[in-house]
Structure 1
Amino acid sequence: MSGYYSDVIYEGLERIVVAMDIGTTHSAVSFAYFSPGSRPQGKMVAHWPGQPHWSGAAKIPTLVSYKAGKAQSHGTEAEREYEDQPGNVAHWFKLHLHPDKMKNNSPLFDVPALPVGTTIERIYADLMQYMMENTQKFFEMTTPNGEETWKRLRATTLVVLATPNGWELKEQQIVRKAAIRAGLVTVKSAGQLLQFVTEAEASVHYALANQSLEWLKYKAVFAVIDCGGSTVDTTVYRCTTINPLSLKETCPSECVQAGGIYVNREMTMMLKKKLQGSSFDDPDALRSMLHAFETELKPSFDGKMDYYELKFGSIKDNEPSIGVQKGRIALSSDELRPIFDSVTDQILRSCIGTLISQGTKHVVLVGGFAESPYVRKVLWKALRDKNMQTIMIGDYTRKAAAEGAIIAYIKRFVVGRAVKATFGGCVQEKYNSQLHGNRTSKPYPDGQMRVDGAFHAWIMKGTVLRETLAYKLPYHLAWDIDTPKRDITGSLGTAGIEVFAWDRDGTSTWCKDEKGNVIKGMRLLCTLKADLSALAGGLRVMSGFRGKKHYRVDYTVCVYFGDTQLHAKLQWKEKGTFRETEVNVISDVS
């Protein structure tokens, strides 16, 4: 399958890059071989077991079937098992990873249970392993000397995973462990050979590589709305240069649970009610109708006709009272529109305010759910009424995030990303009556009155990062002068600082209340730890506030923002030599 070519000659190290997008309903893989002196080409894996090669379809169903906790089949080959024994097949399992903050504004949804004997990490690992095995086969088949090249470069292959805008540390950690379990990377190499890209950023690269760009001018503000299976991501960009093309996010991106599966859920509820008490009030008939809806009516519904038909049975199936004749059930537009509107209304509520406030002029629609004629029509009309032009980009055989992820690695249009939360550390801060009010303060060994649970902000939400930014933040630990050395050594053994994220606008004075509980709106990301016990032998005696003597140890938190992630480490001086912890990947900041 032909793909995107770089417009420059590559002169770096020889390597293979593989990008995966595991979607709620469909998944796909793209890859590129970077060979010095050539122009890298992004390709989609288009040959999958059980799937006709002639179709050219690069997507596979996100399905894994299990027996006694062991994976039996994947993708298209798992569809038959899903039809016969859906409880044995992991489907829509991505919903198990969506964080609570993505669910707050979404209707209640019964997430399908995982097959017995499995875990979400295991399922991701099984599917990743299957996808990588087939990527290897396709690479070897389509690349000159492919078998030898893959064998030589496999250990240094970079893996890029596309994930929803709303995913954070917890979700990334699970997927990271799954990638290691699947053998995509090792524990030691994961830090260098495993990267994340948001689905929105991948999609903008796909959109711009597959669209005429006469409308894209210098300083133009536009948005990409990626309508997927379970999430809809909206990101607003400003064009900072034309040649070469570069973009900056103007504000934190939006992510809402409002994808295509929610239309399926509404359809299920409507059909159950319609069939209740009829001769077709059984799981098999409902399953047949939903399959027909997913494959035929959902992709074609446009709301223009008075009635639409679902073919689900044989010519002998009739029940006129509920609109069933000769194995077909008639559904009116008045019944179908609210099903789609329940989702399109939520999409618009999530993004329209941001689009208006940022002065958006063009909106690019991508993603499988955006292929729906009705969805396109509704979004086009709503955006037109706000003086925005909609640009449709799509090809049902392709997957924007998967293809865009490899284009993003080749081209790197996006040079500035908006931080989506305020990040900082939890500290003991000097008491300030105007700032801390009636909060209980206590004397610190250096003589200062301090309060616990204060939030020390490192970088503010909405800050646009153009390049990697680094901060070195000085912190210290102190003890009363009469503290036994063994107690000091013990506390130095687990020295560190808690790292928090504040999702709301502005910032917060506190990360914890007086009882030590994390306050609402604040998220504990991780605790940076280091063993500083070796410093106990060289404690410094210092004079603090009003000359109070105390022991003190200094260390530094080094924070790096870049490559869409926040990295941090602790640094200290030991016997005249600077030492530091390993870099800790804390979170996807954009």
Structure 2
Amino acid sequence: MKPGAGTRKPYIGQTRSLVLAVDIGTTFSGVSYAILEPGEVPKIHGVTRFPGQEHVAGNSKIPSIIYYDQHGNMKAAGAEADGASVLAQAEDEGWSKIELFKLRLRPKTMTLKMNGMRLSPLPPGKSAVDVFGDFLSYLFRCTQSFIVDTHANGHALWRAVEHDMQFVLSHPNGWEGAQQTKMRRAAIIGGLIPDTDEGKSRIRFVTEGEASLHACVLNGLAADVLSNPSGHGFLILDAGGGTLDISSYAIRGTSPLVIEEVAPPDCVFAGSVFVSRRARAFFAEKLQSSKYGSPDSLDHIAKRFDETTKRLFRDSKELQFVPFGSPLDKDLTAGIRGGQLRLTGGEVAALFEPSIQAAVASIRSQIQASSGQVKSVWLVGGFAASPWLFSQLQEQLNPLGVSVSRPDSQTSKAVADGAIGFYCDHHVSARVSKFMYGVEFLRTFDPNDEEHLSRKHRLFELPSGPKLLPDAFDCILARSVRVKESTVFSRKYCTEVTNLSTLSVFEVEIWCYRGGDVVPKWILRNADHFSTLCYVRADLSPLASSAQPKQGTGGKQYWTIVFTIEIHFGLTEFKARIKWIDHDVSIV
């Protein structure tokens, strides 16, 4: 099996173009790109030089950090924000440091346990989307400088593509339509695209799990799996700073390569930053009676734990040390000697344990949902470099007949490269629906049904006469359904209106149900497992001329309007639309 680039087709566009993949991670971010030349096979490049880390050759990641002044103006970002001069200026001038801002975009249904820590407050006059947009703008400017400086005739190249470049934004598996809308808005705020329909169409989305899959294909890392399409599935675990993104696939063909999702993807807040947060809380308790228990000291010790102990930890039976100070730093009662905080291996292992258990639980669910197809796990992402995470997953999954492997190169930049691979190669031909999707309909009242009687106060009568109950749920797309990209799920509905002018603002609410595989009878509007996915709006006023009036009860005039709701789920971005027939012509 060749790496993905070996099977990539030449670009079929008529003019030169550029596609940028921007991976804003919880803790680190990166950008990859491909220059699209007509008739040529696209090559993937990474932005490997950012301001503030010119001394680090080939580094493709920068910290997801921004400093703002007291007026909400961005003053520094990325690697520059970690520099000594910026830190000093920030303290002198009262700048606020914003990190982990990606977590603010999470769906409300995804709870966040921060071990007593709080996300830093947003700067004055800024929303989470504004901050995301500012960081997108910073990465975009860095990318422009890199391309202009790196490529021959870079200025001419940028001028040729700057008004029509394409973007791929990656996001956790658990992000949905609402989060994609926020990210698209942030791209407008950041100046990547204009606020027009044409501009918005230049943004595409890919889950971090699927981008990681494409990265594994690109690098030939999963060649043993890909060259043996025996029906065995494999799982990509993208272990990042904030989330663990888990996606399961199986090979359905090799010429060309065809991959299908075999279980609903999962996403849990259990990334490396939560190990750090648990460590900070643990140090606060351990050092509360020590002079090293001040907030500043704890922040410094936690930072050093991140940079050293957390990355290197591999044995729960050995003593561990957090080097944070000088040889003169000493407090034997707190376990500090020679500027190092001593910890037992068991204490450090306990900081990792919730994340490891969350990963194992999710993988077990994937194996079950895939009917046992998953036989191997590929561990990628920045957190994948942890020897302890890797060894514990191996130890706990091997008894299930599941092997765990990790690429030995560039796991941390898998998402950005894989997002370009997704754009160019598009290997995944079918996905599995994560939740259940449907709409509200009116259910005929049954006086013999206790549930109906309990809702009797909600009864109302249609102009044509029937007495109906609102809030009934009609499923259009069930959970765990295998969906090809070309598949459309549709249901036909009708409504009765007494005033044709209401057709000009016709709107349907698409509901998402997260409560399992059994179709609920009713929409519980305030329940956590129900949420509005989107609204589909249409101007149906053209139907007014052809609609036939009817006489209802009491001689009241009404019109019946027939329409279809269509759901397109096979792409990485959910789409829904209203379809109707006017004079025998189908209109969407």
TM-score, with length taken from structure 2: 0.89
The counterpart of 1:146, out of the listed 132, 141, 154, is: 154
In structure 2, what is the equivalent of residue 586 of structure 1? none
Distance 2:36 2:193 in 1: 19
**Matches for 1:253-268 after TM superposition, within 5 Å:** 253-268=265-280
In structure 2, what is the equivalent of residue 352 of structure 1? 364
In structure 2, what is the equivalent of residue 193 of structure 1? 202
Whether the 8 Å contact between 2:23 and 2:415 is mirrored in structure 1 is yes
> What is the SS of the residue equivalent to 1:236?
strand
Deviation of 1:170 after TM superposition, in Å, equals 2.2
Measured against aligned partners, the alpha-carbon deviations of 1:213-240 in whole angstroms (never above 9, x if no partner) come to 1244211211111111011011111111
Distance 1:420 1:275 in 2: 44
**Matches for 1:378-417 after TM superposition, within 5 Å:** 378-395=392-409, 398-417=412-431
The counterpart of 2:33, out of the listed 28, 31, 34, is: 31
Distance 2:186 2:558 in 1: 47
The counterpart of 2:435, out of the listed 421, 424, 431, is: 421
Kindly provide the amino acid, as one letter, of the partner of residue 406 in structure 1: I
Whether the 8 Å contact between 1:475 and 1:556 is mirrored in structure 2 is yes
The counterpart of 1:313, out of the listed 325, 342, 363, is: 325
Change (3 A) 1:212 1:234: closer
Kindly provide the amino acid, as one letter, of the partner of residue 465 in structure 1: V
In structure 2, what is the equivalent of residue 564 of structure 1? 572
In structure 1, what is the equivalent of residue 470 of structure 2? 452
Whether the 8 Å contact between 1:114 and 1:120 is mirrored in structure 2 is yes
Kindly provide the amino acid, as one letter, of the partner of residue 10 in structure 1: P
Whether the 8 Å contact between 2:49 and 2:57 is mirrored in structure 1 is no
Distance 2:469 2:278 in 1: 51
The counterpart of 1:214, out of the listed 215, 224, 247, is: 224
> What is the SS of the residue equivalent to 2:283?
helix
The counterpart of 2:251, out of the listed 230, 235, 239, is: 239
In structure 2, what is the equivalent of residue 115 of structure 1? 123
Deviates more, 1:6-15 or 1:47-56: 6-15
In structure 2, what is the equivalent of residue 505 of structure 1? 516
Distance 1:427 1:4 in 2: 46
Query: Gaps (5+ residues) in structure 2?
Result: none
Deviation of 1:542 after TM superposition, in Å, equals 4.4
1:554 to 2:562 alignment: yes
Distance 2:567 2:214 in 1: 28
Whether the 8 Å contact between 1:500 and 1:511 is mirrored in structure 2 is no
> What is the SS of the residue equivalent to 1:506?
coil
Whether the 8 Å contact between 2:8 and 2:425 is mirrored in structure 1 is no
> What is the SS of the residue equivalent to 2:110?
helix
Change (3 A) 1:577 1:169: same
Change (3 A) 1:507 1:494: farther
Measured against aligned partners, the alpha-carbon deviations of 1:154-177 in whole angstroms (never above 9, x if no partner) come to 211111000001111222221111
Distance 2:557 2:316 in 1: 82
Measured against aligned partners, the alpha-carbon deviations of 1:410-437 in whole angstroms (never above 9, x if no partner) come to 2222111111111112122445679975
Distance 1:315 1:493 in 2: 76
Change (3 A) 1:431 1:82: farther
Distance 1:199 1:257 in 2: 14
**Matches for 1:425-574 after TM superposition, within 5 Å:** 425-431=439-445, 437-438=452-453, 439-440=455-456, 441-479=459-497, 488-512=499-523, 517-533=525-541, 535-536=543-544, 538-542=546-550, 550-572=558-580
Distance 2:112 2:138 in 1: 34
1:75 to 2:85 alignment: no
In structure 2, what is the equivalent of residue 17 of structure 1? 19
RMSD: 2.8
Whether the 8 Å contact between 1:160 and 1:194 is mirrored in structure 2 is yes
TM-score, with length taken from structure 1: 0.89
In structure 2, what is the equivalent of residue 278 of structure 1? 290
Identity %: 28
Deviation of 1:254 after TM superposition, in Å, equals 1.0
Distance 1:152 1:429 in 2: 57
Change (3 A) 1:282 1:104: closer
Change (3 A) 1:108 1:578: farther
Whether the 8 Å contact between 1:69 and 1:115 is mirrored in structure 2 is yes
1:372 to 2:386 alignment: yes
Whether the 8 Å contact between 1:231 and 1:259 is mirrored in structure 2 is yes
In structure 1, what is the equivalent of residue 166 of structure 2? 158
The counterpart of 1:249, out of the listed 261, 284, 295, is: 261
Kindly provide the amino acid, as one letter, of the partner of residue 264 in structure 1: S
Distance 1:74 1:540 in 2: 62
Kindly provide the amino acid, as one letter, of the partner of residue 119 in structure 2: V
Deviation of 1:278 after TM superposition, in Å, equals 1.4
Distance 2:191 2:360 in 1: 40
Distance 1:344 1:559 in 2: 36
> What is the SS of the residue equivalent to 2:19?
strand
> What is the SS of the residue equivalent to 1:222?
strand
Deviation of 1:489 after TM superposition, in Å, equals 3.5
1:178 to 2:186 alignment: yes
Deviation of 1:537 after TM superposition, in Å, equals 5.1
Distance 1:559 1:200 in 2: 23
Kindly provide the amino acid, as one letter, of the partner of residue 497 in structure 1: V
Distance 1:322 1:104 in 2: 31
Deviation of 1:257 after TM superposition, in Å, equals 0.4
Change (3 A) 1:530 1:208: closer
Query: Gaps (5+ residues) in structure 1?
Result: 581-590
> What is the SS of the residue equivalent to 1:569?
strand
In structure 2, what is the equivalent of residue 588 of structure 1? none
Give the number of equivalent residue pairs. 567
Deviation of 1:63 after TM superposition, in Å, equals 0.6
Measured against aligned partners, the alpha-carbon deviations of 1:324-368 in whole angstroms (never above 9, x if no partner) come to 222222222122111111321222223323224532211111111
Whether the 8 Å contact between 1:344 and 1:378 is mirrored in structure 2 is yes
Whether the 8 Å contact between 1:65 and 1:82 is mirrored in structure 2 is no
Deviation of 1:566 after TM superposition, in Å, equals 2.4
Deviation of 1:19 after TM superposition, in Å, equals 0.5
Distance 2:357 2:114 in 1: 12
Deviation of 1:315 after TM superposition, in Å, equals 2.1
Deviation of 1:474 after TM superposition, in Å, equals 3.0
